[in-house]
Structure 1
Amino acid sequence: MTVRPATLDARSAARQAGAVTVDPTAPWSPADPLGEVLGDLRMRGTFYCRTEGSAPFGVEMPALEGCMSFHVVIEGSCLLELDGRSYPLGPGDLALVPHGRGHLLRSGPGAPISGRADLLPQDYLADHYSVLRVEGGGERIRQVCGVVEPERPGATHLLDLLPPVLLVAAGDSRGWLTVLLGMIADEVRQDRPGAESVVTRLADVVVIQAVRGWLDTAATGPGWLRALRDEQVGRAVASVHRDPGAPWTLDRLAREARMSRSAFAVRFTELAGEPALRYVTRWRMHLATVELGRGARVGELAGRLGYESEAAFSRAYKRVTGVAPVTARRPAAPAPGRATAPRPRGDAAPSSSVRPGP
């Protein structure tokens, strides 16, 4: 069992109130730093669609900033096209588009595009579920598509590392995709009470499994992920991720890793490609950028991320990102539903962001 506050606010409040924190050496403390990162991949379901039809067909999937799309083929085949590259998908295959990029789904090369998927006529089973029918008279096609949004700001730290399209072939999923797909399709089809919550949690597992499979095979050079994989340094990185607002020093990080100060400093830089305290600052600014994009106030973030004043936080943010935090703050967007879902924001470059990475 992992004992961990659910939010940054909870941990910060506990620390400021003088509450006793969990001893990282205790037997119930997390022993898998990489697993903790995967634990941040909690999704907020935005929209789910079952596509039924026949070739030839083609639909445009809009760009949705801050979201990711997934497509699982149940029957037939299609092509996913992004940046001029085609990815063939067959029965049981999964394609994850993690960076909110617009893309196309076609039955085959050159198939005509009927329009943008969210604007085409479809049957709504609920505010967040629909059935889209595209008939061309040829080979049958059925697939389940979803648009999900990470709930936790730390998740984007990992998702930024993923390729433009992450593919999981039916034969590579070891059966888990078939089981999850069947459960999702059943919930969407029957529309039982609580279906949205069930499908959202199942989507969590789909995304986590896809990302975990990528982590098992991905070659990672110097960067935070490589540091996280290290048995000793990984403990320190995981501690920073759990409690970014703590008063981190090199000595304290070294104690978390159970290493000497000098050995830890050298090892961290060797693995991550930057000094440990610089990484701490960039991780804080990464979280701040995500939270500012969701409408958080600068003064609130300063205390939660370990800064004594708003001015100190603003200086650190501008030093790392090159812009003042107020320029990165956006009003919180309404939750998508039938009337608003999903709201495309185009492929324009997003406001300045920090991506601690390889």
Structure 2
Amino acid sequence: MDPFDDVVSAMSVASSLYVRFRFTAPWGVAFDTGYQARLVMIAEGVGWLLSEGEVPLPVAKGDCLIVKEGTRFALADRPDSALVDCVNLFADLPGFSEGTGFTTIPDRTVNYGGNGALMEMVSARLSFDPIAAEPLLALLPDLLHVRLAHGDLDLLETTLGLIGLESRADGLGADLVVERLTDVLFIQTIRAWVAADGTRAGGWLAALRHRSLAKVIRSVHADIARDWTVEEMARVAGVSRSTFAQNFRSVLGETPLSYVTRWRMYRAKTLMRKGAALAEVAVRVGYDSDTALSRAFRRVEGLAPGEWRRTLAAEANRPAL
């Protein structure tokens, strides 16, 4: 296991709305992710990505976007095209209401624009456990643009083709299958980004591209409860203690033992969120007692486990605005 497996398996990524857009020039659409992240893949044609404070960026077939919640962006056939709000594209479709939003979209396809060149893209709104997603989202920019290499493009196009087939067939369990395949598309996009530009990501994503550090990271995550020492991690890496400690801090920006502690707290939070007792959590993340875990948790998170649980419950019960 590595941190990516650790995080993605706990995130429970789900797609609440999968749509295929067919835009024909002239066109321009503004998007607001609101309270959900968004995954976008350009399936055909070319266009422009517009985001506040950034130079317009050309996009083409094979480009993917992962956009965090609360982020605004636009896509258009030209940088100066007039923009319409994405919500307006759904207003005349069956099943749409101001109160409930989107309920049904025929063939999961929305057409918009004039009589010019076509750009086709797919978009999925993503929801996931925010606590579980913290370590990954912290390393991602608000708007991640990935230009896929040939091999990655083949993989994503295959997944995209399966989503299209399921959408058109609309058989038993089609929505569930589309949701799972969107999860796969998300994982493939992140993986392609790390492979192409992982050093920009920093943190543990960058470490997974470092041969000796990757061995250590995977070993730690496979057995987080083990009584890890810097010497033992250096042996796994196959280098001296001093070289390992220097390399680790240079790439990850923290000491090896602080990394282990931080991920233990992450595992503890995901387990507590599922209702596990503190004594059980302590054993599973490498502490002799719930008291020892509580001390470490307070030191790292700034509050005791019980307070953290109560804060989480209060936020979950707070009415949406």
Report the TM-score when normalising by structure 2: 0.71
The 1:113/1:34 distance shift into structure 2, 3 A limit, reads same
Specify which of 224, 231, 237 is matched with residue 244 of structure 1: 224
Deviation at 1:279, TM superposition (A): 0.9
Q: Any conservation in 2 of the 1:295–1:330 contact (CA below 8 Å)? A: no
Paired residue for 1:60?
31
Q: Could you tell me how far apart the structure 2 residues matched to 1:38 and 1:311 are?
A: 26
**What secondary structure, in the 3-state scheme, does the structure 2 residue paired with 1:329 have?**
helix
Equivalent residues of 1:57, 1:134 under 8 A apart:
no
Q: Secondary structure at the match of 1:277?
A: helix
Q: Answer with 70-79 or 231-240: which moved more.
A: 70-79
Among residues 28, 34, 48, which one is paired with 2:18 in the alignment? 48
Counterpart position of 2:170: 191
Question: Which residue among 295, 298, 312 is the counterpart of 1:315?
Answer: 295
TM-score, length basis structure 1: 0.65
Instruction: Provide the residue aligned with 2:98 in structure 1.
Output: none
8 Å CA contact 1:246–1:306 kept in 2: the answer is yes
The separation in 1 between residues aligned to 2:216 and 2:105, in whole angstroms, is 42
Per mean C-alpha deviation after superposition, the further-off stretch among 227-236 and 127-136 is 127-136
**Could you say which residue in structure 1 is the equivalent of 2:110?**
133
Question: 1: distance between equivalents of 2:242 and 2:45?
Answer: 58
Q: For 1:72-103, what per-residue CA distance to the aligned partner results, in whole angstroms no more than 9, with x for missing partners?
A: 2345555444344344433x233322432432
Aligned partner of 2:135 among 134, 157, 166: 157
Residues 197-252 of structure 1: CA deviation (Å, up to 9, x unaligned): 43234323322332222222326277434443343332222122233233333354
Q: SS at the partner of 2:84? A: coil
* Stretch of structure 1 that moved more, 237-246 or 218-227: 218-227
Deviations 1:39-79 (A, max 9, x none): 75873333212234554352433323xx5311223455554
In structure 2, relative to structure 1, the CA distance for the partners of 1:281 and 1:103 (3 Å cut) is same
Q: 1:256 to 1:196 in 2, by over 3 A?
A: farther
Alpha-carbon distance between aligned partners in 2 of 1:270 and 1:134, rounded to the nearest angstrom? 49
- What is the one-letter code of the residue matched to 2:145? L
Displacement of 1:329 after TM fit?
Answer: 1.9
Relative to structure 1, the CA distance from residue 244 to residue 128 in structure 2 (aligned partners, 3 Å threshold; closer, same or farther) is farther
One-letter identity of the residue aligned with 1:143: M
- Greater helix proportion: 2
Equivalences for residues 1-358 of structure 1 within 5 A: 40=9, 43-52=13-22, 54=24, 55-64=26-35, 68-75=37-44, 77-85=46-54, 86-90=56-60, 92-107=61-76, 108=78, 109-114=80-85, 116=87, 120-123=91-94, 131=108, 133=110, 135-139=112-116, 140-149=118-127, 156-169=134-147, 172=150, 173-218=152-197, 220=199, 223-257=203-237, 264-288=244-268, 296=275, 299=278, 301-325=281-305, 326-327=307-308, 329-330=312-313
User: Offset of 1:104 from its aligned partner?
Assistant: 3.5
Answer whether contact 1:223 1:271 (CA < 8 A) is retained: yes
Q: Is the 8 A contact 1:98 1:162 kept in 2?
A: no
Mean Cα displacement is larger for which, 146-155 or 200-209? 146-155
Aligned length: 301
Structure 1: where are the runs of 5+ without partners?
1-29, 335-344, 347-358
Given residue 110 of structure 2, which amino acid in structure 1 is its aligned partner? R
Q: Which amino acid aligns with 1:329?
A: L
Please tell me whether the aligned partners of residues 227 and 233 of structure 1 are also in contact (alpha carbons under 8 angstroms): yes
Q: Deviations over 1:288-343 (max 9, x none)?
A: 45666x56567264443233444433332332233444345247979xxxxxxxxx
* 1:190–1:93 Cα change, 3 Å: same
1:242-287 C-alpha deviation (Å, 9 max, x unpaired): 3323333335434544556566445434443322111111122334
Amino-acid identity (%): 30
Would the aligned equivalents of 1:74 and 1:143 in 2 still touch at CA under 8 Å?
Answer: yes
Query: Which ranges in structure 2 are unaligned for 5 or more consecutive residues?
Result: 96-101
| Deviation at residue 145 of structure 1 after TM alignment | 0.8
Contact 1:47 1:129 (C-alpha < 8 Å) held by counterparts:
no
- CA–CA separation in structure 2 for the residues paired with 1:308 and 1:273: 28
Cα separation, 2, equivalents of 1:305 and 1:79: 46
Distance 2:83 2:169 in 1: 32
Alpha carbons of 1:147 and 1:258: their partners in 2 closer, same or farther (altered >3 Å)?
same
